[in-house]
């Protein structure tokens, strides 16, 4: 992606020019290359965003059945103000609304039909006659231009979200652009790349990894990839299927024992990987590195590096790091951040963190003031806890996060998340005027509390293990 240095006026003018030349949507998308794209205020952008949202509605309403259903139910035929978007937002659960039995019983034609109800493009030309398993089905969809990403949640159902080739291309540009903006590191193909966490092997993740490797990695050098077998959708859904058969009472003790043995092997591989990573990092300590990982695994690797007698000044002073996700339930000592940064000689300005979710295709990079910024083609709509009412976009607002990613092509970009966030629609301490999200994101599901007791319930309460 070209990284032109536009002034703010340039960026706004560019958006307006594109509008007169083409659509509001194209105008907003063209801001992706503007260096100061995060300095545009929500209020200034709103008229164009609303226009772009309406363009998308008109284009998609006849193509995405769930959207048509929502539009009919709410009587909304065009988007004129933010309130009009709310009834058209999909709950994050819409992408897991398929019956799980279709997965476990391998009913690929029905799953395809379901996927079509939440996709922009018809799913045609996919021969499902001899599909072996879910991974195979997803590969065939990809060959037909449908890039299905699944949430890698380890419990319950996987969400399945369709993306187009254009979305994958957008993801490439957005991930490099976000990283550059958030870490201040220009893509100069001058680093050794280290992936230090297991990654779910879904198209979007692979595309992002590839884009970062090409932009930042030394040409011709194979990146270091966390040495465990990748987590596939098949493995995730296999667990879901076992859970279901346990609930049905059809799982045999041997099935459960086999699963547990497999989990133990995987845990062993994860544990062994830590030492392998540490060795490789020690070897490469004088090179300029691009690290990526999640806190839990980064911390373990850092410990192993320290145990080998290395850390701090042994590593290159210009190292950078991409940290994905939060703690994900890991329990680490209070100084874990400092410990990781010091081990690899990372200065805070070279650390990249972002807020994002599989449901949208645009990341929100963290600024110097520690807040996550919203790009011009991404609308951050704040709702009340129930997700029904829009909260006015003025000042600092707390509530349920909803987003409309205007860049999404292969599906509808409007989603209600399960996240509770605080967003500031005013100017951020870092100097940028785009909406910024405070670093205290929690999930509403985690807040529900432990007070519930009722005699009505399901067999799920009787299934132990398999998480």
Site for another protein, rule CB under 8 A? 65-66, 69, 90-91, 93-94, 97-101, 110, 113-114, 117, 247-249, 387, 416, 449-459, 461-462
| Least distance CB 110 / another protein (angstroms) | 7
Do residues 372 and 434 touch, judged by C-beta distance below 8 A? no
CB closer to another protein out of 90 and 315: 90
Based on CB atoms, which residue is closest to another protein, 331 or 461? Answer: 461
The nearer residue to another protein, 50 or 94, going by C-beta atoms, is 94
Residue 296 makes CB contacts below 8 A (sequence gap 6+) with: 327, 328, 330, 332
Min dist. Cβ of residue 69 to another protein (A): 6
Query: Minimum distance from CB of 358 to another protein (Å)?
Result: 17
Q: Which is nearer to another protein, 62 or 229 (CB)?
A: 62
**CA nearest to 302, candidates 343, 262, 244, 335:** 343
Please list, in sequence order, all residues whose beta carbon lies within 8 angstroms of the beta carbon of residue 344, skipping any fewer than 6 positions away: 281, 289, 291, 302, 305, 311, 315, 319, 321
Task: Provide, rounded to whole angstroms, the least separation between the CB of residue 96 and another protein.
Answer: 8
CB distance 386 to 429 below 8 Å: no
Q: Which is nearer to another protein, 23 or 97 (CB)?
A: 97
11 and 40 in contact (C-beta within 8 Å)? yes
Report the distance separating Cα 16 and Cα 114, nearest Å. Answer: 39
Q: What is the CA radius of gyration of the chain?
A: 23
By the 8 A CB rule, do 361 and 171 touch? yes
Distances (CA, A) of 163 to 84, 115, 227, 310: 25, 11, 28, 43
CB of 230 to another protein, least distance (A): 28
Cβ proximity to another protein: between 15 and 94 the closer is 94
* Alpha-carbon gap, residue 387 to 421, rounded angstroms: 13
What the block records as the tokens of 326 is 């939060």
For residue 443, which phi and psi values (nearest 5 degrees)?
A: -100, 135
Pick between residue 66 and residue 85 the one whose CB is nearest to another protein.
66
**Tell me, what DSSP letter sits at residue 157?**
P
Nearest-approach distance from CB 244 to another protein, in angstroms: 9
Q: Choose between 65 and 306: whose C-beta lies nearer to another protein.
A: 65
Q: Give min distance, CB of 240 to another protein, in A.
A: 11
Q: Which of 24/383 has CB closer to another protein?
A: 383
CB of 460 to another protein, least distance (A): 8
DSSP 187-254: --S-BEEEE-S--B--HHHHHHHHHHHHHHBPTTPPPB--SSPPBPHHHHHHHHHHHHHHHHT---HH
We find the least distance from the C-beta atom of residue 384 to another protein, in angstroms, to be 12
């Amino acid at each position: 992606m070209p990284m032109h240095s536009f002034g703010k006026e340039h960026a706004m003018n560019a958006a307006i020019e594109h509008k007169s030349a083409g659509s509001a949507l194209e105008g907003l998308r063209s801001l992706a290359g503007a260096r100061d794209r995060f300095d545009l205020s929500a209020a200034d952008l709103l008229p164009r965003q609303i226009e772009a949202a309406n363009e998308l509605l008109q284009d998609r309403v006849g193509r995405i059945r769930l959207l048509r259903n929502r539009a009919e139910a709410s009587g909304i035929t065009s988007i004129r103000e933010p309130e009009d978007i709310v009834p058209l937002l999909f709950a994050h659960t819409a992408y897991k609304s398929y019956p799980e039995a279709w997965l476990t019983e391998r009913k690929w034609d029905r799953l395809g039909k379901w996927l079509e109800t939440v996709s922009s493009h018809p799913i045609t030309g996919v021969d499902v006659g001899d599909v072996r398993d879910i991974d195979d089905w997803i590969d065939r969809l990809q060959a037909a231009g449908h890039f299905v990403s699944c949430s890698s949640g380890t419990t319950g159902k996987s969400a399945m979200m369709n993306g187009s080739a254009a979305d994958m291309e957008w993801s490439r540009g957005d991930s490099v652009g976000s990283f550059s903006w958030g870490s201040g590191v220009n893509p100069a193909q001058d680093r050794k790349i280290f992936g230090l966490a297991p990654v779910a092997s879904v198209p979007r993740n692979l595309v992002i990894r590839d884009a970062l490797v090409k932009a930042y990695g030394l040409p011709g050098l194979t990146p270091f990839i966390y040495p465990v077998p990748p987590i596939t959708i098949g493995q995730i859904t296999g667990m879901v299927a076992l859970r279901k058969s346990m609930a049905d009472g059809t799982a045999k003790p041997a099935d459960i024992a086999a699963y547990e043995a497999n989990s133990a092997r995987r845990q062993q591989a994860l544990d062994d990987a830590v030492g392998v990573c540490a060795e490789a990092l020690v070897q490469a300590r004088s090179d300029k590195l691009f690290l990526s990982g999640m806190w839990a695994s980064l911390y373990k690797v850092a410990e192993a590096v320290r145990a080998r007698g290395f850390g701090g000044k042994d590593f290159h002073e210009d190292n950078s790091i991409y940290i994905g996700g939060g703690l994900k339930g890991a329990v680490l000592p209070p100084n874990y951040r400092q410990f990781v940064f010091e081990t690899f000689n990372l200065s805070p300005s070279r650390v990249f963190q972002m807020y994002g979710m599989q449901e949208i295709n645009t990341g929100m990079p963290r600024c110097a003031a520690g807040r996550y910024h919203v790009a011009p083609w991404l609308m951050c709509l704040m709702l009340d806890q129930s997700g029904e009412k829009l909260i006015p976009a003025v000042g600092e607002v707390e509530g349920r996060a909803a987003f409309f990613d205007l860049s999404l092509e292969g599906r509808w970009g409007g989603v209600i998340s399960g996240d509770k966030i605080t967003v500031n629609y005013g100017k951020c301490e870092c100097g940028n005027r785009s909406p910024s999200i405070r670093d205290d994101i929690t999930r509403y599901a985690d807040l529900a509390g432990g007070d519930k007791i009722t005699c009505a319930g399901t067999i799920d309460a009787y299934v132990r293990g398999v998480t």
